[in-house]
Structure 1
């Protein structure tokens, strides 16, 4: 199945911003693209806050942080 960019963005918003979804509720082929999108788009504080609120696991947080650009 092809990964659709607009769904990647929407899944990221639902998981990282609103907490209305989690990785177990989205298709497996979107897990990596969603983490990559979040890591490249959201701030460290947003990603960290997502973990603090329990929207993602520590493992998902670590994987997402792997996509955060270094300056």
Structure 2
């Protein structure tokens, strides 16, 4: 048994606020950079999936253009998009 190896629980009520802080407001990052602490790693994929289902393509592109998300994070976010994902500003 490895000591100190554990995964933190992912709470659904935190996913939306993390996504908004990263993609819409630029108040947080996925990882530690730009003076931000970064969100817990366990939330990275759920936040990207949430963003792809709830934010427009414009909002995701703007987050990347503002460097709130990296090119890699942008590509991962776009990969979650479906035909039902919002395309235009709401």
TM-score normalised by the chain length of structure 1: 0.94
Distance in 1 between residues matched to 2:54 and 2:82, nearest whole Å = 9
Structure 1 unaligned spans of 5+: none
- Which residue of 15, 18, 25 maps to 2:22? 15
Q: CA RMSD in A?
A: 0.9
CA distance in 2, matches of 1:6, 1:66: 23
| Correspondence 1:51 to 2:51 | no
Match in the other structure for 2:5: none
Find 2:46's aligned residue among 19, 22, 33: 33
Poorly superposed stretches of 4+, deviation over 4 Å = none
Deviation at 1:70, TM superposition (A): 2.2
Aligned mate of 2:9, from 2, 15, 39? 2
- The structure that is helix-richer by fraction is 1
Report the secondary structure of 2:49's partner residue: helix
1:6-31: CA deviation from partner (whole Å, max 9, x where unpaired): 10111001000000100011100000
Distance 2:53 2:22 in 1: 15
TM-score by length of 2: 0.75
